[in-house]
Structure 1
Amino acid sequence: MSQRIKDIAAQLAEPIVTRMNLELVDVEYKKEGKNWFLRVFIDGENGVDILDCEKVSEALSAKLDESDPIPGAYYLEVSSPGAERPLKTAKDIARSIGKYVYVTTYEPIDGEKAFEGTLQDFDGTILTVEVKVKGRAKTVEIPYEKVAKARLAIQF
């Protein structure tokens, strides 16, 4: 049920954000305490501001009211994915070449399952990440099919 609602919300949101020259990053529908939340994350070439979120929220709210895919009450939240934006698709990863990332894998690579460093390259099948190990730069090649999660990271 939850996945179906996420899919419907994404289908309704996609043309709205595209029309505004924005990108739909993610949609989540989950219960927190006794309340349900439909969260829509958007981004743009130069980020998004509160006005972008408000416009998407108003347009999406009207579409959701029209099609009424969600039984019961819920809160609609539209926001930026933040500085540690998830990289959900191969396209997201390709656009992040040169950026600092955090990647976890389903199985160990060189004995590790978590990698944080600069994404050097992505050819569609292999992510090449430069990580620091005891102060030395090391290049790690991560097969895309072994990526459990990837996101942008803040470098300290």
Structure 2
Amino acid sequence: MSNITEEVTKLVSPIVEELELELVDVEFLKEGRDWFLRVYIDTPNGPIDIDQCAQVSEKLSEELDRTDPIPQNYFLEVSSPGAERPLKKEEDFQKAIGQFVFIKTYELIDGMKEFEGYLLSYGPDAAEVEIRIKTRKLTVVIDKEKIALARLAIDFSA
């Protein structure tokens, strides 16, 4: 399925660039009996609106009809990544410094695989996250290759 997401990324990238938007992620998933092609877009200066999603959906749909890279039937969804936006690219992490994040790792670090806290830094080798355990604040260093999933999160304790 990664070939499909790569192909769709190549098709949608010029569309979002032309509209001065940002491509956040592309997913191709099976849920129940149905396949979904989900494209998440955003703007550099604030929330995306429904008209922008519709523009991308219309132009991408034309490209998908023209190139036909997906053999099975699917539903196309173009939307905002939401408040819990995924962090995938280097620049996503850089923009998230100082923000509350959720990071899941492939293996245990200090006895844990899930970390919620403020992203202090993100460098060539690791991310530093300030987490809270009860009333204590701790800084955890997470090697980049150990990060399985990362996204912005909502701090309900604030």
**TMscore range, shorter length:** over 0.9
Alignment: residue pair count: 155
- SS in structure 1 at match of 2:121: strand
- SS in structure 2 at match of 1:154: coil
| Structure-2 residue corresponding to 1:141 | 141
**Aligned amino acid, residue 27 of structure 1:** V
| Structure-2 residue corresponding to 1:74 | 74
Task: Provide structure 2 residue ranges, at least 5 long, that are not aligned to the other structure.
Answer: none
Describe how 1:3-152 pairs up with structure 2 within 5 A: 3-45=2-44, 46-152=46-152
Write the deviation string for residues 75-113 of structure 1: whole angstroms up to 9, x where unpaired.
Answer: 111001111111112221111101100011111111111
Q: Partners in 1 of 2:114 and 2:74 — Cα distance?
A: 35
Once the 2 structures are TM-superposed, how far is the Cα of residue 73 of structure 1 from its aligned partner?
A: 2.3
- SS in structure 2 at match of 1:104: strand
Q: Partners in 1 of 2:2 and 2:142 — Cα distance?
A: 28
Aligned-pair identity in percent equals 52
- SS in structure 2 at match of 1:121: strand
CA RMSD of aligned residues (A): 1.2
Q: Partners in 2 of 1:72 and 1:106 — Cα distance?
A: 32
Write the deviation string for residues 89-148 of structure 1: whole angstroms up to 9, x where unpaired.
Answer: 222111110110001111111111111000011122111111111112111111111111
Kept in 2: contact 1:29–1:39 (CA 8 A):
yes
- SS in structure 2 at match of 1:150: strand
Q: Partners in 2 of 1:105 and 1:31 — Cα distance?
A: 24
Instruction: Between 81-90 and 51-60, report the one with greater CA deviation.
Output: 81-90
Q: 1:131 to 1:32 in 2, by over 3 A?
A: same
Instruction: Between 112-121 and 82-91, report the one with greater CA deviation.
Output: 82-91
Once the 2 structures are TM-superposed, how far is the Cα of residue 34 of structure 1 from its aligned partner?
A: 2.3
- SS in structure 1 at match of 2:106: strand
**Aligned amino acid, residue 48 of structure 1:** I
Task: Provide structure 1 residue ranges, at least 5 long, that are not aligned to the other structure.
Answer: none
- SS in structure 2 at match of 1:103: strand
Kept in 2: contact 1:90–1:124 (CA 8 A):
no
- SS in structure 1 at match of 2:27: strand
Q: Partners in 1 of 2:123 and 2:33 — Cα distance?
A: 44
**Aligned amino acid, residue 22 of structure 2:** E
* Structure 1 residue runs of 4 or more that deviate by more than 3 Å after TM superposition: none
Q: Partners in 1 of 2:142 and 2:74 — Cα distance?
A: 39
